[in-house]
Homo-oligomer: A and B are copies of this chain.
Amino acid sequence: MSTLGIVKRNITRADPVAVEKLGRFGVATLHEAMGRLGLMKPYLRPVYRGARLCGTAVTVLLQPGDNWMMHVAAEQIQPGDVVVAACTTENEDGFFGDLLATSFQARGARGLVIDGGVRDVDELERMGFPVFSKAIHAKGTIKATLGSVNVTVVCAGAIVHPGDVVVADVDGVVVVPAAQAQAVADAAEKRESFEGEKRAKLASGVLGLDMYKMREPLAAAGLKYID
């Protein structure tokens, strides 16, 4: 009945071409392109300025104070993957540090998104291994209880299936279901193509009120100007 104690080896990763294309866009744009869905909660923050990642999810379900499954996950990493770690309860211990980062990086991982804590932040920055976490915490963890690898998890409020695309930058973390990767990338591209023109208009002093034709609906809604 439980999804604990399981490692799924064969997962269907999103198409690499679509993943690369998704990596060209910011998280805010991708979230809009998905119809304003797919975001993790904003308490996940990059552990160093400039961190940014895009890749296919290898998921981990951790137990509180225990990072055993991180080592199990390492073996499942393929180049281009991002590890997404959830926990069976709220816990901010330092599940991850420079040794695991070295191992993940050696396997080709592009970063980590974790609904928990990490440590060795200076080393992570030096290594160029991007991490988005709930906390920075030196607290060490044990290796005693089974969780799972590559099961569906909820990480910071978002559902992540193994193989989904995860993109993270300073604005947040977004999950794109593997099957929608190409369509979302295309929608993002279209969306962004409109932005340059809008930006230029706004920069020239045109108001959004006029550019988006808002004056009429605002008046219809009852907006009153007073002096």
Q: Are A223 and B146 in contact (CB under 8 A)?
A: yes
Q: How far is the CB of A134 from chain B (nearest CB, A)?
A: 10
Q: How far is the CB of A70 from chain B (nearest CB, A)?
A: 8
Copies of this chain present in the complex amount to 6
> A183 near B: Cβ within 8 Å?
yes
Give Cα A65–Cα B123 distance, bound, in whole angstroms. 29
Give Cα A99–Cα B154 distance, bound, in whole angstroms. 31
Give Cα A34–Cα B35 distance, bound, in whole angstroms. 34
Contacts A35-B2, A214-B68 given; does A90 touch B7 at CB 8 Å: no
Interface members, chain A 146-171 (any B CB < 8 Å)? 146, 152, 154, 157-159, 169-171
Q: Are B144 and A8 in contact (CB under 8 A)?
A: no
Q: Are A212 and B146 in contact (CB under 8 A)?
A: no
> A114 near B: Cβ within 8 Å?
no
Q: Are A139 and B106 in contact (CB under 8 A)?
A: no
- Residues 155-198 of A, flagged 1 when their CB comes within 8 A of B and 0 if not, give 00111000000000111101000001001100100000001001
Interface members, chain A 177-227 (any B CB < 8 Å)? 180, 183-184, 187, 195, 198-199, 202-205, 207-209, 212, 214, 218, 221-227
Q: A13 contacts which chain B residues (CB < 8 A)? A: none
Q: A41 contacts which chain B residues (CB < 8 A)? A: 90
A selection of 16 A-B contacts at a CB cut-off of 8 Å is: A1-B187, A9-B227, A27-B119, A28-B119, A36-B140, A42-B117, A42-B139, A45-B136, A63-B65, A65-B66, A65-B145, A120-B171, A122-B169, A143-B212, A145-B221, A152-B159
Closest 3 CB pairs of A and B: A2-B35, A64-B65, A71-B208
User: Which A residues have a C-beta under 8 Å from some C-beta of B?
Assistant: 1-10, 26-28, 31-37, 39, 41-42, 45, 49, 63-66, 68, 70-72, 74-75, 88-94, 97-100, 102-103, 105-107, 117, 119-122, 135-140, 142-146, 152, 154, 157-159, 169-172, 174, 180, 183-184, 187, 195, 198-199, 202-205, 207-209, 212, 214, 218, 221-227
Given A42-B137, A65-B145, A121-B171, 19 more A-B residue pairs with CB atoms under 8 Å apart are A2-B34, A4-B37, A5-B224, A26-B122, A28-B97, A42-B138, A49-B49, A71-B212, A72-B223, A75-B209, A89-B91, A90-B91, A99-B195, A103-B207, A119-B171, A136-B170, A138-B171, A146-B218, A152-B159
